[in-house]
Homo-oligomer: A and B are copies of this chain.
Amino acid sequence: MDLTPLIEVTRAARRFDPRHYLPFHVAARQVGWVAPRLAERLEPMAEVFLVGDFGVALHPDLVEPQARTEALDRAVETLAAEGWIVGVRHERYAIRERFDAAPLFAIERAAARPFGLTTFAAHVNGLTRRADGAVEMWIARRSPTKPIDPGMLDNLVGGGIAAGHTVTQTVVRECFEEAGILEPLARKAQPAGLVRLLREVPEGVQSEVIFVHDLWLPPDLSPRNTDGEVSEFHRVEFRSLPRRIVDGDPFTLDSALVILDCLIRHGVIGPDDQGYEALVAGLREAPR
């Protein structure tokens, strides 16, 4: 198998030019990226942001996470009213250098991309073994009304990790909401590593860490969406996925990476395939 078109998928997840953005600092740590146009708008909000040659910084007087969160809340409200931030959901992400570090602040999730903040998500590959031994993967089609990637193909389950939630809690909640999978089965979702994205998107920069999981479903179980975010599920042969990602109905970039990682871990794509090392490197190397 020639893996070149799949390597191209991993490149799309790293399409980012730091020269297009200003670094965004909080407490002397770079936590994100801001487009120059937005930085200009932030400059007069001098009680919240410092804008200078160094980039954009949260005002150093905001030392406590709570104070930062409140100041950013007010700024986000203004920016949303002016159209700089769209799709406010009144759900917060905790922002931190690493997932296991203390949160620096929390922020409305719709603000993550405009500020290029790293967010964390949990995705689940739904796998089933057929009677003949072949493995199939459950694929979701996103609802045509979703604000991001409507109608595109997706993993069985995937969702952002809200402030104060663990990875496991997120998997359990999303398994129920998105696929009607109850907690005892959802807890069998096996963590299997992570994939990362850093890319320019219309709203700003998507910087994301996705904790990937595999969940083996009994052959007679069919996922059933409960929150209206998925329009249908279907099951496809594991071995058909490399071709489908390249030629079939479009997958979200996030789910394409999660599936590629799964295909590599399960040997559907292997070291005797042309481009294997480059594919693994493209999927796993640091985005920055």
Contact = CB atoms under 8 A, between A and B. Distances in A.
Interface residues of A, number: 33
Contact of A285 (B99, B264, B285): B285
Given A285-B284, A285-B286, A192 B274 contact: no
Given A272-B167, A272-B168, A193 B265 contact: yes
A209 interface: yes
Contact of A100 (B122, B168, B274): B274
Main secondary structure of the interface of A (DSSP, over half): mixed
Total copies of this chain within the assembly:
2
Among A100, A122, A267, A271: residue with most chain B CB under 10 A: A271
A238 to B, nearest CB: 12
Contact of A191 (B99, B270, B275, B285): B270
Interface string A261-286: 00011110111101111101100111
Contacts of A193: 264-265, 280
